[in-house]
Amino acid sequence: MNKIIRHVLLVFVFTNLFFTFTSAQFVVNAGSDKVLCPGFTALIGSPAPASGGLAPYTYSWNPSTFLSSSTSPNPLCSPASGNYITYTLTVTDDTGAVKTDIVIVSFQYVDNVNAGNDTSICENSFAVLGADLNISGMGVNYSWLPTTFLDNNTLPRPTSLNPTYSITYTLTATSAACPPKTDVVTVTIIPTPIIDAGLDVTIQEGEVATLNATGGFYYAWAPMPISYQFTANPDVEPLITTTYYLYGTDNSNTCPNYDSVIVTVIPNDELVFYNTFTPNNDGNNDTWYIGNVYKYPNNKLEIYNRNGKLVYKASSYVNNWDGHAFGERLPAGTYFWVFELGDGKGKKHGDVTIID
């Protein structure tokens, strides 16, 4: 073999052996994991982040979040509280070889601790303080001040029992590794609304009574049937003396109070003809109502328009006329009715107005 060719081959072989040897020794060390106290910072990366291979080295940290530099071998890490981050260090040597390693930066458990969210509660109620992550057995001691209304001021999540006024509590959390951490939470008391169902009412059987509530923002009445059940002024028509119960809350719809009113019913057989109704399908006053009509089951009803044209008729009317005639809605206006009581008890007549 030609001496020149042998020399070239030897150089090629030794060069490859050199790069293979140096590449095999290329090591990257991102350093030990860091566990920080809240508000603290740390240098990441080992004292010798790269060794072996062929210097110089190029460094790249990913992600670059919270780092003073993403290309420094030992950047300063200043993470925001609550973050748990895994950093990957990628090092490239002068031959183009690439090695990686990772380091984890997290916080001491005391970083998870806080006093919880401000809360508003009703009188004679309770509030649980502290965040969900406030737990025992993690090397954290808890102290709450003031101790007023608290069941135990050293619990991670104490209960403020029946506080009688709004109060702000301060939590101090301590651990062996970190400085004390403090946080505050306010418990606000919502006054109980003064709910009044109004004065007791006396009506004749067949009449409708309008109730009058005050003191609340949201209302609900019982028992049914009640028209405008969720308003301050519902309409009721009990057949017998009935007690109506009122549930009312403040404008936050948080804290309730209660009251009741008695509607006394005097027995009566007289028909009560109401002179308006609003057939708009809103669930209230949609049909023409005649009080005590059920006491005259053999009745007959005829309705006429202003021109004397019959627009509606019924036998045994049961308060179900919805303002329609022959399948079509009648226009708003005044109509005239003739009502036979049946069984030879005579007739009555009058007018009724449809309101849009």
Same domain for 42 and 94: yes
CATH number at residue 41: 2.60.40.10
In-domain check, residue 174: yes
- The mean per-residue pLDDT over the stretch 161-178 comes to 96
Is the predicted pLDDT of residue 327 greater than 90, yes or no? no
Contacts (Cβ under 8 Å, ≥6 apart) of 161:
126, 149, 150, 151
Q: How many domains does the chain have?
A: 4
Same domain for 206 and 173: no
DSSP 112: G
CA gap 49, 71 in Å, rounded = 12
Same domain for 99 and 174: no
Residue-level pLDDT at 117: 97
- Span 293-317, pLDDT tens digits: 999 999 999 999 999 999 999 999 9
Residue of 189, 191, 210, 190 whose CA lies nearest to 199: 210
Across 4-13, 26-35, 69-78, 118-127, least confident range: 4-13
In-domain check, residue 70: yes
- Span 279-299, pLDDT tens digits: 998 888 899 999 999 999 999
Q: pLDDT grade, residue 2 (50/70/90)? A: low
Last residue of a domain, one of 63, 87, 107: 107
In-domain check, residue 131: yes
Residue 212 lies in domain:
201-266
- Span 107-116, pLDDT tens digits: 999 999 999 9
Report the range out of 95-104, 277-286, 322-331 with the highest average pLDDT. Answer: 95-104
More confident site: 160 or 84 = 160
- The mean per-residue pLDDT over the stretch 192-216 comes to 96
Average pLDDT over the chain, rounded to whole?
92
Instruction: Look up the pTM and report it.
Output: 0.67
Q: ∠56-61-63 over CA atoms, to 5°? A: 165
Same domain for 254 and 218: yes
Residue of 75, 54, 78, 185 whose CA lies nearest to 130: 185
